[in-house]
Amino acid sequence: MMDLQVIQSKIHEIRGQQVMLDFDLAQLYEVETRALKQAVRRNIERFPPDFMFELADSEINNLVSQNVIPSKSYLGGAVPYAFLEPGVAMLSSVLKSARAIEVNISIIRAFIAIRRYMIQAAPSSLSGELEEIKERIKALEEISDENEEKFDDIYIALTELAMKQKLTVKSRNPIGFIKPKE
């Protein structure tokens, strides 16, 4: 049985998905990457896009920058495949050696362990984030109440000012030969 930590170190997050790359899988299965890719291409109908996808150039560059691979030349000019969990499971039907079956079982166990960890870790981190959001909403509501009070004060002040102006308005002197009223 393979060490779960070794397998987990080869599981990467790409496009928001947990994936394993073809060259890592080939290393675990103890076959050449070329042979693994050839077996996949012969059975491509077993690998829909939600099981496997090819990496884009930007994703390859990202792997290089994260030291997952030393350089693009490490790939030998080939674009790597990224296998999602169901794609890794499907590889066992394509690669039929005893080693492939043993490795596949270990890989599936690693994916399950990661999923369990994420499920257990998620509620505690989410509750902290939820509390922070609640505090922010409460602070915004307080600011909103303060602003509402200030608007009320401004409205009252403007109303009083308008009333004063109405009272202080003098009648104008008529134009022409009419005597002003006193």
pLDDT in tens, 115-174: 888 777 766 666 777 888 888 888 888 888 888 888 888 989 888 888 887 766 666 666
Q: How far is CA 92 from the centre of its chain?
A: 30
Q: Which of 181, 161, 158 is nearest to 171 (CA)?
A: 181
Mean pLDDT of 100-114: 81
Q: Which CATH number fits domain 4-125: 3.30.70, 3.10.260, 3.10.20, 3.40.190?
A: 3.10.260
Cβ density class 120-141: b for 16+ within 10 Å, e for less: eeeeeeeeeeeeeeeeeeeeee
pTM higher than 0.85: no
Phi, psi of 127 (to 5 degrees): -65, -35
31: tokens are: 């076959």
Give the per-residue pLDDT at 51: 92
Question: Closest Cα to residue 44, out of 10, 93, 11, 85?
Answer: 93
What is the band of 180 on the pLDDT scale with cuts at 50, 70, 90?
Answer: low
Which residue bears the tokens 């499971």? 89
> Residue 41: its pLDDT value, please?
92
pLDDT of residue 83: 92
pLDDT tens digits for 16-70?
888 989 888 888 888 888 888 999 999 999 999 999 999 888 888 888 887 777 7
Domain ranges of the chain: 4-125
Kindly state the tokens that stand for 165: 């102006």
Flag whether pLDDT at 2 surpasses 60: no
